[in-house]
Amino acid sequence: MTAQRLTMTLAGLFIILSLVLGHVMGQLNLGHMSWLWFTAFVGVNLFQSGITGFCPLTKILKVFGAK
């Protein structure tokens, strides 16, 4: 695993972990729809793209001409 993929994996894990800890400690209510679900989505996507090497946003940006 490259350093970049390891960084992505750990960043995603830390985002997910902070949301879970905030919810468990009663500081966040993830039971209601809120912008925190967007944060969770970003964390999960970072984690899975670090593990698998596949990032949907990268595919979308390449369609629009990014290198």
For the question of whether the overall pTM of this predicted structure is more than 0.75, the answer is: yes
What total of structural domains would you count in the chain? 1
Residue 24: predicted pLDDT: 92
Query: Is 53 strand, coil or helix?
Result: coil
pLDDT-derived band of residue 45, with 50, 70 and 90 as boundaries? very high
What's the whole-number mean pLDDT along residues 24-52? 91
Torsional sign, CA 18, 22, 25, 31: negative
What's the whole-number mean pLDDT along residues 53-59? 92
Mean pLDDT of all residues in the chain? 92
Number of C-beta neighbours around residue 43 at 10 A:
20
Q: Which domain covers residue 38, as residue numbers? A: 3-63
Query: Is 64 strand, coil or helix?
Result: coil
What's the whole-number mean pLDDT along residues 52-58? 92
Residue 31: predicted pLDDT: 84
Q: Which amino acid is at 58?
A: T
Name residues whose C-beta falls within 8 Å of residue 54's C-beta, 6 or more positions apart in sequence.
Answer: 48
